[in-house]
Amino acid sequence: MKRIYFAIVFLLIALGVGALEYGVISSGCDSFNERLDTAEEMLENGRYTEAQELCRQTAEDFDRYSENGLYYFYNHDNTKEVGESLSKLGEYIRLGRIDDFVVLKDLIQKRLLAIKDKEHITLKNII
């Protein structure tokens, strides 16, 4: 009987950690995607300095988020690529390369969505 109780407790702990992991990654990816969309809207409205500052802050926040949460749950190589790409966005704005900004922003958002999709609790992702 003790084994059954232990198995149930272990299962509940595993489900709790999985739900926590999904919540941390999902909310973080959504937040960063929203910020990137906001930066693009700022550019469309001619607010280049504000957009550049938002991109700089987003890159810094992503680095902190990665170090303090995402690295515990996800592959470092994929998050490193996103962080490096985020750090380039502000530079593209400063140089006036808005088309490059939009292309890189879309790529970053696709990578963030891929990270989020890999954390959905599905049979495919569990196996």
Q: What is the pLDDT of residues 11-69, one digit of tens each?
A: 888 888 777 777 878 888 889 999 999 999 999 999 999 999 999 999 998 888 877 76
Instruction: Return all residues near 60 (Cβ < 8 A) that are at least 6 apart.
Output: none
Residue ranges in 66-97 assigned as alpha helix (H)? 71-73, 76-94
Domain range summary for the chain, segments of one domain joined by +: 2-126
Does this model's pTM top 0.85? Answer: no
Collapsing DSSP states into helix, strand and coil, what is residue 1? coil
> For residue range 63-104, what is the model confidence (pLDDT) as tens digits?
888 777 665 556 666 677 888 899 899 889 999 899 999 999
